[in-house]
Structure 1
Amino acid sequence: MRVLRLRRTLGTLLALGVLGGSASCTAAHGDDARPGDDPPAALAPFERLLPAPLSVRAEGPGYSFGPGTVIRTGRGADEEVRRVGELLAEQLRGPSGLPLPVVDGVQGDGIRLGIDEEAEGLGEEGYRLESGPGGITLTARTPAGLFRAGQTLRQLVPAAGPGTVPGGTVTDRPRFAYRGAMVDIARHFFSVEQVKRYVDQLAQYKVNTLHLHLTDDQGWRLAVDSWPRLAEYGGGSEVGGGPGGHWTKDEYRELVAYAGERYVDVVPEIDMPGHVNAALASYAELNCDGKAPERYTGTKVGFSSLCIGKERTYEFIDEVLGELAALTPGRYLHIGGDEAHVTPAADYAAFMDRAQAVVGRYGKTVMGWHQLAAARPAQGAVLQYWGHDKTSAADRAAVVAAAKAGHRLVLSPADRLYLDMKYEAATKPGLAWAGYVPVRRAYSWNPGAYLAGVPESAVLGVEAPLWTENVATRADWELMAFPRVLGLAELGWSPAGALDWASYSRRLAAQEPRLDAQGIGFYRAPDVPWAQ
């Protein structure tokens, strides 16, 4: 109880404006929050923010948010700033029912958006939010920063209708540049509309990357003009024998544009040289024996491989990745590389040399699963680590060596951030090969110190993958992702000193009305003090 009493005192000081910074930085990491003590409703508005911001000072009277509120984007504001203002107005109108017109000019009260390219300490995505009786001012060096500021404001405005936004200042910027979530639409097919919904859910918590696992043994999900049968035939299956499906190029473009408007970069993945049965079934010429296998609807891994010694294989890779690169404005193309169990090590390394060269020729940066470390990662390649507590010392050593050689890491430890791992034995969807991953375990680790021998400077960021071997519906998807993906958001954004379970669990509980209002069916972890 000593820590809880200390946190009450700090929260009071913060609310009075006496204390700068977030009170969430003050308690020891891992302290227990007890359901029933200080319910979420007792938290001051700034104390409810998730992810925890870098610095908060609550002071003075707030701003009256009501029917007369306008959003001001500045006289002559560029088109992108205006678009950010329009999107913020749309996001705030829904729950508030207020008109919130977007107008030119920064004079007058209301919500004012402004770019200051010389603002210190904000970086590319940081912002400053100032609230007082005369209005709310959002300042950033970039439109992306303004968008992030708007997402913070969404948590401060009254839950519904008019009310007061508290007075004070939030100064904020992310800890890691890469804050991602992955969804596997290959094992079970999902529509663009469902993925758009996830983009909105992620972006409001400052997640900035969506990794799409587009191909696997069970299905090929993106149309490729030069190899049309990949989608037409290879897309017609999924785990369990369902009908599968695929996206057209226009649908993919639509999703990429939608995500980009919310400052979420799309990282597409074509897994190779393994996880390719859907491709092999579509084209006999990709098989070493010239015979196409049957489509696969099971869940085993590691049994398929492209034909490493066949030149047609590399023509295939060049044409597929070339089309994908042309569709994708982001910097990364993910080429998989995991679980290539039937590809000999020397063949694997030779294949990856050529595949990485193709990515480079199309002006993109290679991303691959951490097994790429055992081959020859291309200069600048980013490795995604999905190991866990039982990962072999040799595998870890290869990743550490790659980091020391200058390769950045995205951390996705399976026993922390794999969203398809069950919370507990009773969880109906999901798997448990990496163990159960309750909400507290998913949150309670430090990415900057996770791999011994890897400094924080080598960590590009974190990502929470959702594999879909037995996640087949939107309800299953959201149950497995929420609330754990909110922990991912805080791990990626908030300063290391803010990673405190006692504070986080209370702030997470304070998100309950938002999740309910958005129709997100989430797992009500028993050690989080939910209101209901």
Structure 2
Amino acid sequence: MVVPRPVSSVAASGAPFVLTAGARISIAGAGADAVARLLRDGLSADGAPELEIVREPPAFGDVAVVVADHEGPEDHRAEGYVLEVTAEGVRIGAATEAGAFWGVQTLRQLARPGAGESAGAPGIAPVRIVDHPRFGYRGALLDVARHFFTPAEVRRFIDGIALLKVNHLHLHLTDDQGWRLEILSRPRLTEIGGSTGCDGSRGGFFSQQEFRDLVAYAAERHITIVPEIDLPGHTTAALASYPELNPDGVPPAVYTGREVGFSTLLTGHAPTERFLHDVITEVAALTPGPFLHIGGDECLSTSPEDFDAFVADTTRIVAATGKIPVGWHEIGRAPGLAPGTVGQYWDFRVPRGHAADRAQAFVRGGGRVIMSPADAAYLDIVYEEGDTIGQDWTGGPTDLGTAYRWDPARIVPGLDDAHILGVEAALWTETVPTIEDAEEMTYPRLAAVAEIGWSAVPPASRPIEEARDLNEFAARLAALAEHWDVLGTRYRRVEGVPWPEPAA
């Protein structure tokens, strides 16, 4: 009963494993100690007894974490793991620390909340799981520009997505309504541009040290933070901070509305070029991960010629810092993008207009594509008609079945798994003011997208509605919800899932 579904899970005979108060975590190999600490803390948060960590062979009833070159599934060393449960103990084997960590998330889900001999919780049935991800990039986007979320709230979000084996957190750091990352060479970006948020909500920003701390916290959980500086549109916060970036030289007032497409930097202009170099250089220095996202969507106020030149130049600036440029699929129209630029597709499951060609352009340029179809993977879309939080611009609600029944290799003609970097679910926050609201919009739909990114590809011969069994997924989701309840994670109790009874 695990989400995402493992590649292989074979039940065995025999008595279950019962986690006792005297159980230990036995570790071997580089990085096993860090994984063991997170396992101990995770099980403890789930209500299990706190386990001692030892660097010695496992005894009866122990949990072993082994990281070694020969461990894990063949041909899937980077993030794969093997988990074995018997009455005598549990063993997680992986070739890398990341693989062992994902094995820990599976073990946490197998060990129902409150697991332990004195808690009356059931033991873990004997099983052998061999598991690895379909895609190397499995992302979630959190928009902190429209409504700001504090470092503590972002850490809470990181903990939630880690349980689902999501390994990239895309932070949308800038938009018309707010600039959320301190840039030392441009202090007014946060002094002015970070002073408010959508609907006049609280302002705020991450200092560079706070951002470094978030990057480190995520990295400990094998999650890479992908910063996005949205350019050349979605830039009112920057325009209000520095008048020289404006076509008319006059700074607009800070913006707290919800409309899009009306702002643009003054392109082809020396002050703007200096601004780009300053900002991108500082953001790249704060980001040990390989990606830097430049946005590029909904630039309705930038002329096509200026847009093409601007995004091509910006991708080359990013590449010069050693990062891989990423942009929304609109930038695929521009000739001269830096080789290897990654595109993020956000159109529908049936592409409209030029969206498919824009996405294909990244592959022609030596890059790959992240799939985020808005009518299935945008978490800000309402669950059902009449919801008070969420948007409905995609033409209808995104229920659990819609979030689950799609495949990234069946959207853009000619793009198969070799051309697709991975998947990402996006939470835009125009209507989402609190972290509790963010969680309710995220869960359970992120679980569906995470499974699409991790689990084995469905047979091409079967319609996706048949290949993805929603009822079977719902049963596993209900077991996962027991953890959400214990952890205090808010989620939407959508119909069709046998949810656990609410606590009295």
Bin of the TM-score, shorter chain as denominator length: over 0.9
Partner of 1:204: 163
Q: Which residue identity is paired with 1:112?
A: A
- The match for 1:58 is 11
CA RMSD of aligned residues (A): 1.5
Do 2:233 and 2:299's aligned partners in 1 also have CA atoms closer than 8 Å? yes
**For residues 524 and 96 of structure 1, do their structure 2 counterparts lie closer, same or farther at Cα, with a shift above 3 Å needed?**
closer
- Amino acid aligned to 2:8: S
Cα 1:64/1:315, change in 2 over 3 Å:
same
| SS of equivalent residue, structure 2 residue 318 | helix
Q: How does 1:230-379 map to 2 (within 5 A)?
A: 230-376=189-335, 377-379=337-339
CA contact (8 A) 1:404 1:454 kept: no
Task: Say yes or no: does 1:82 pair with 2:33.
Answer: yes
1:49 matched to 2:11? The reply is no
1:360-399 correspondence to structure 2 within 5 Å: 360-376=319-335, 377-389=337-349, 391-399=351-359
What secondary structure does 1:464 align onto? Answer: strand
Which amino acid letter does the alignment assign opposite residue 239 of structure 2?
L
1:411 aligns with 2:381: no
Maintained 8 Å contact 2:169/2:224: yes
Deviation larger for 415-424 or 289-298: 289-298
One-letter identity of the residue aligned with 1:515:
W
In the other structure, the counterpart of 2:89 is 135
Distance of aligned partners of 1:245 and 1:394 in 2 relative to their CA distance in 1, 3 Å threshold:
same
Which shifted more, 390-399 or 55-64?
Answer: 390-399
Mapped pair 1:228 → 2:187 = yes
Deviations 1:149-192, CA, capped at 9 Å, x for gaps = 01100011242141422212100000011100001111111111
Which amino acid in 2 is paired with 1:162?
G
Q: Over residues 485-524 of structure 1, what are the superposed CA-to-partner deviations in whole Å (9 max), with x where a residue is unaligned?
A: 1101101101123732221122112222112112222111
What is the letter of the counterpart of residue 134 of structure 1?
A: E
Q: Is 1:527 the counterpart of 2:496 in the alignment?
A: yes
Q: 1:437 aligns with which of 357, 378, 398?
A: 398
Deviation at 1:107, TM superposition (A): 4.0
Structure 2 match to 1:112: 64
* CA drift at 1:404: 4.4
Match of 2:45 in 1: 94
Deviations 1:310-369 (A, max 9, x none): 111111111111111111110000000001111111111111121111111110000000
Among 395, 415, 427, which residue is 1:466 paired with?
Answer: 427
Superposed CA deviations along residues 357-395 of structure 1, whole A, max 9, x for unmatched, are: 111111000000000111133211110000015753322
Identity of aligned residues (%): 41
In the other structure, the counterpart of 2:23 is 69
Q: Which amino acid aligns with 2:368?
A: R
Cα distance in 2, alignment partners of residues 84 and 161 from structure 1:
19
Q: Which blocks of at least 5 consecutive residues in structure 1 are unaligned?
A: 1-47
Q: 1:153 and 2:107 equivalent?
A: yes
Q: Shift in Å at residue 427 of structure 1?
A: 1.4
Q: TM-score under structure 1 normalisation?
A: 0.88
d(CA) in 2 for partners of 1:370, 1:418: 15
Q: Aligned partners of 2:350 and 2:420: how far apart in 1?
A: 21
CA deviation vs aligned residue, 1:76-117 (integer Å, no higher than 9, x gap): x43x32111111111112333413000111242311111221
Q: Deviations over 1:368-427 (max 9, x none)?
A: 000011113321111000001575332222323433443211011110010000011121
Distance change in 2, residues 1:430/1:454 (3 Å): same
**Is this contact kept in 1: 2:359–2:412, CA < 8 A?**
no
* Secondary structure at 1:522 match in 2: coil
SS in 2 for 1:496: coil
Contact 1:491 1:499 in 2 (8 A): no
Deviations 1:119-176 (A, max 9, x none): 4243201100011132111100100000000110001124214142221210000001
- Please state whether the residue corresponding to 1:65 is helix, strand or coil: coil
Question: Given that residues 126 and 141 in structure 1 are in contact (C-alpha distance below 8 angstroms), is that contact kept between their aligned partners in structure 2?
Answer: yes
Q: Deviations over 1:15-62 (max 9, x none)?
A: xxxxxxxxxxxxxxxxxxxxxxxxxxxxxxxxx111100001111323
Structure 2 counterpart of 1:284, one-letter code:
P
Aligned pair count reads 482
CA contact (8 A) 2:193 2:237 kept: yes
Structure 1: 4+ residue segments shifted above 4 A: none
Specify the code of the residue in structure 2 equivalent to 1:95: D
- SS for the counterpart of 1:49 is coil
- In 2, Cα distance between the equivalents of 1:121 and 1:361? 33
1:73 counterpart SS class: strand
Query: Is the 1:284–1:292 contact (alpha carbons within 8 Å) kept by the matching residues of 2?
Result: yes
Give the aligned residue type for 1:508.
Answer: L
User: Could you list the runs of 5+ residues in structure 2 that have no partner in the other structure?
Assistant: 118-122, 459-466
Instruction: State how 1:1-80 maps to structure 2 within 5 Å.
Output: 48-61=1-14, 62-74=16-28, 77-78=29-30, 80=31
Query: Which moved further from structure 2: 181-190 or 80-89?
Result: 80-89
Query: What is residue 122 of structure 1 aligned with on the other side?
Result: 76
Structure 1's 247 and 402: CA in aligned 2 closer, same or farther, altered over 3 A? closer
Task: Tell me which residue corresponds to 2:98.
Answer: 144
